[in-house]
Amino acid sequence: MRRFLGALAAALGVLTLGAAPPPPAPADLVLRGAAVYTVDGARSWAEAIAVSKGRIVFVGADSAIAHWIGPSTKVLALSGKMVLPAFHDAHVHPVSGGMEALECDLNGLPTKDAVLEKVKRYSAEHPEAKWIRGGGWDLTLFPDGNPSKALLDAIVPDRPVYLPASDGHSVWVNSKALALAGVTKATPDPPYGRIERDASGQPSGTLREDAADLVAKILPKRSAKESVDGLAQGVKVANRLGLTSLVEASASEEDLEAYAALDAQGRLTARVLASLYVDTDKGTAEVPRLRSLRDQYGRGRVRTNAVKIFADGVLETRTASVLEPYVGFPGDRGKPNLQPPTFQALATALDKEGFQIHVHAIGDRAIRDAFDAIEAARKANGARDARHHFAHIELFDPADIPRFRKLGVIANFQPLWANGDAYITELTEPKLGPERSRWLYPIGSVLASGAEFAFGSDWSVSSMNPLEGMEVAVTRRQPSLGPGPAWIPEERIALPDAIAAYTIRGAYLDFSEKDTGSIEVGKLADLVVLDRNLFEIPASQIHEAKVLLTLLEGAEVYRASGF
């Protein structure tokens, strides 16, 4: 008690005398002269930041920063450049995406010919490869997203080819791969997949959803080194784009080994929340395995208290689970990956174990089933700070939107997709009709409902760049098109919300909001420096902003050349 009174007197003394506090110890790093958008509760701005031992020790005006600068303080004078909390990606595949980037990488190629040219070049440059692997081709480059084996046979007749589409829900193979896997006219479609066929019933070269497993099961197993190299590449891409916190969207045990290995080498320059892949066919029998993976791999920069459930497929290929049949396909409502009673039992068991549940839900029926599953879990186990979240969430029955807030579920959008491109106009809207298409990616309505929300990329399905995602959330237009009319303009959101979705809201989703997501004293110095102030440019130019510097706990993990 005496000690307490002494401290109180000392504090009162300072207050009553109005003396300045003792000069602080010099900081390790000072950023000054910046436009610092702190994303604190008041969304306030500052000019300077001081960092000591990886944490933020001061945020405020340039005029007050001199105290923090000593002889060994590193000072960055930023002449008006923008500083933000480093970004969070709430749904990303760093291991598989990174491996794909190091193999036959077809992401972003604009034409069918460019894709074929790349496959041809890659196979010529890699005579040692027993399989041609990689992927990332765009569904919209081929009629109905359905490329043929003949296109590949003409280039690679002698070795098997296995190329997933950029969305990961279709795979393009050649005749050699089908022959090695024994997939023929007589092979039936698996329950949750489809073998595309020609007029005579022969497999034509594209495999949807679980049909890909017919060939995937004979792929040579990736080496541990390939996974670690892939992950290192994925993290490098992330740091270059200002990201230091990642939600791994679907972690296998091999992926977890790669995270553990990279972290042990001191090269994992991002915080990771890994969502452990759940085999929905096994249902609640998966729980003990998931518990032991959680215990074994949750250390260092890797946290593992989350699981991933795939509730359905994708709209473009009619594998998403929808409430009403697809237009032109009477009776076809897609297929949920698990029936509601199984889903509810699984969610209840996982919630009881304390896992955060991360659901892939795209069609309006999958979204409803997922809400029903969380509701069942809450009823059985009681409400807790679970932060379950649904990713992708493309097509809604608007009646379900208020359930995010009601059930405490976080809406995890991939906003880059909400832009009216060919995926929407050619492959999606015709299958839904105009009335239902109005409820594609209703980001504005979900925010207006008071739901918690966060954004992610789903890389390598699409670009990992958060600035592109922010722009589309604000404009509902393809970033390359410049200014013009928005696609479903009612669903646009404001820039502060789009920034929050990649910072403080992402931090809430990954349970790190006490340490990251905003620039406040006491938090970790995970920061990003941009070459321009996003609030001072037209929204259609947000994607042109460049990351100059990314800091993780005050340490540089990316610096642009010339900065």
Residues within the interface to Zn ion (CB under 5 A): 249, 458
Tell me which residue of 467, 468, 463, 414 sits closest to 443, measured CA to CA: 414
Question: At 348, which helix (H) or strand (E)?
Answer: helix 340-352
CB 93, min distance to Zn ion, A = 6
Within 42-190, residue ranges assigned H as helices are 94-102, 112-125, 149-153, 175-181
- The CA-CA-CA angle for residues 6, 7, 9, to 5°, reads 65
CB 456, min distance to Zn ion, A = 8
- For residues 164 and 177, is the Cβ–Cβ distance under 8 A? no
Nearer to Zn ion, 81 or 360 (CB): 360
Nearer to Zn ion, 249 or 474 (CB): 249
Token representation of residue 98: 């990174």
Q: Chain-centre distance of CA 393, in angstroms? A: 13
CB 249, min distance to Zn ion, A = 4
- For residues 369 and 336, is the Cβ–Cβ distance under 8 A? yes
Tell me which residue of 42, 50, 29, 46 sits closest to 82, measured CA to CA: 46
Nearer to Zn ion, 166 or 204 (CB): 166
Number of helices (H), then strands (E), belonging to the chain: the values are 18, 24
CB 416, min distance to Zn ion, A = 13
What crossing angle do the helices spanning 287-297 and 253-264 adopt, rounded to 10°?
Answer: 10
Q: Give the C-alpha separation, 485 to 541, whole Å.
A: 15
Nearer to Zn ion, 249 or 260 (CB): 249
Q: Give the C-alpha separation, 44 to 100, whole Å.
A: 40
DSSP assignment of 363-420: SHHHHHHHHHHHHHHHHHH---S---EEEE--B--GGGTTHHHHHT-EEEE-GGG-S-
Nearer to Zn ion, 119 or 366 (CB): 366
CB 221, min distance to Zn ion, A = 22
CA dihedral sign of residues 38, 41, 45, 46: negative
Nearer to Zn ion, 94 or 444 (CB): 94
Residues 6+ apart with CB under 8 A from 64: 48, 58
CB 461, min distance to Zn ion, A = 6
Nearer to Zn ion, 145 or 203 (CB): 145
Torsion on CA atoms 547, 552, 555, 560, rounded to nearest 10: -10
Nearer to Zn ion, 168 or 193 (CB): 168
CB 391, min distance to Zn ion, A = 7
SS3 content of the chain, % helix, strand, coil (to 5): 40, 20, 40
CB 262, min distance to Zn ion, A = 20
Question: At 351, which helix (H) or strand (E)?
Answer: helix 340-352
Token representation of residue 397: 């029955």
CB 435, min distance to Zn ion, A = 28
- For residues 185 and 202, is the Cβ–Cβ distance under 8 A? yes
- For residues 111 and 63, is the Cβ–Cβ distance under 8 A? no
CB 332, min distance to Zn ion, A = 24
CB neighbourhood size of 179 (10 A): 12
Nearer to Zn ion, 193 or 205 (CB): 193
Nearer to Zn ion, 103 or 458 (CB): 458
Q: Give the C-alpha separation, 259 to 2, whole Å.
A: 50
Nearer to Zn ion, 277 or 439 (CB): 277
Nearer to Zn ion, 458 or 526 (CB): 458
- For residues 88 and 39, is the Cβ–Cβ distance under 8 A? no
Q: Chain-centre distance of CA 40, in angstroms? A: 23
CB 392, min distance to Zn ion, A = 7
Tell me which residue of 548, 417, 464 sits closest to 237, measured CA to CA: 464
Nearer to Zn ion, 404 or 417 (CB): 417
Contacts by residues 39-46 (CB-CB < 8 Å, ≥ 24 positions apart): 39/84, 39/85, 39/499, 39/500, 39/503, 39/504, 39/517, 39/518, 39/519, 40/518, 40/519, 40/520, 43/496, 46/519
Nearer to Zn ion, 364 or 458 (CB): 458
